[in-house]
Amino acid sequence: MADKHGSDSATSAGISVQTMEIVVALILFGLGGMVVFDSSRLGFRWVEDGPQAGYFPFYIGVFICVSSLVTLAQALFGKKRGGVFVEWAPLRQVFSVLVPAAIFVLGIQLIGIYVAAAAYIAVFMVWLGKYGWIKSVLLGVAVSAVMFMMFEVWFKVPLFKGGYNPLGFLGY
C-alpha cells in the first residue's frame, strides 16, 4: 500500500482532506439550518406559560451553523493542511465493505436477518477472502444457526423475518 502521508502532489491520488472538510462542514451547516428552520416553525420565543417547544433546539441549530461555518472558513482560507483523506485504492476497499453491507441490510428487509446473514457472510468470504464455496456457505449457515438458537429459542427475542419470511416453515 502506498504511503498515506505522501507529498501534496499526491492529492490527485485520492480525495483530499480539504475537499472532505468542506463537504462535511456543508452537510453540518445544512443540518443546522434544518434544525433552525423547524424550531422557528414550532416557535422559539418565550410565551406566557414558558418557553415554546423550539426554544432549546433553535440555539442548538444556531451553534451547529456557526461552528460549521468556522470549520468551513478554516478549510477554505486557513493554512493549507494538504494531505489525502483517502486514496482511491483504500477507498475501493472501504466500498467493498460498505456496498455489500447496504445490500445485506436491504436483504434483511426482504428475506429476514437469518437468511440474509448466511448469504452475506458466504458471499463476502468467497468474494473478498477467496475462500471456497463449500467452506463459506457452511460457515455462513453455521453463524445463522447459532444466532437462531440464541435469539428465537433461548432468549425468545424474535428478530426480523423480512417481508417474504423464507423461514416461515419453521414455525417461528
Does residue 157 touch another protein according to CB under 8 A? yes
Which residues ranging from 106 to 125 are in contact with another protein (CB under 8 A)? 108-109, 113, 117, 120-121, 124-125
Site for another protein (CB under 8 A): which residue of 13, 82, 93, 166?
93
Q: What would the grid cell of residue 62 be?
A: 444556531
Residue 122 near residue 136, CB atoms below 8 Å: yes
CB of 171 to another protein, least distance (A): 19
DSSP alpha helix (H) spans, the chain: 17-42, 55-77, 88-111, 113-129, 133-148
Q: What would the grid cell of residue 132 be?
A: 471456497
* CA dist., res. 153 & res. 8, Å (int): 57
Site for another protein (CB under 8 A): which residue of 2, 102, 145, 149?
102
- Counting every residue written for the chain, the total comes to 172
- Here's the x/- map for another protein, 18-57, by CB under 8 A: it reads as --xx--x---x--xx-xx--xx--x---x---xxxxxxxx
Does residue 172 touch another protein according to CB under 8 A? no
Does residue 91 touch another protein according to CB under 8 A? yes
Q: Is 2 helix (H, G, I), strand (E, B) or coil?
A: coil
**DSSP code of residue 158:** P
Residue 7 near residue 87, CB atoms below 8 Å: no
Residues that bind another protein (CB under 8 A): 1, 17, 20-21, 24, 28, 31-32, 34-35, 38-39, 42, 46, 50-57, 60-61, 63-64, 67-68, 70-71, 74, 85-86, 90-91, 93-94, 96-98, 100-102, 104-105, 108-109, 113, 117, 120-121, 124-125, 128-131, 139, 143, 147, 151, 155, 157-160
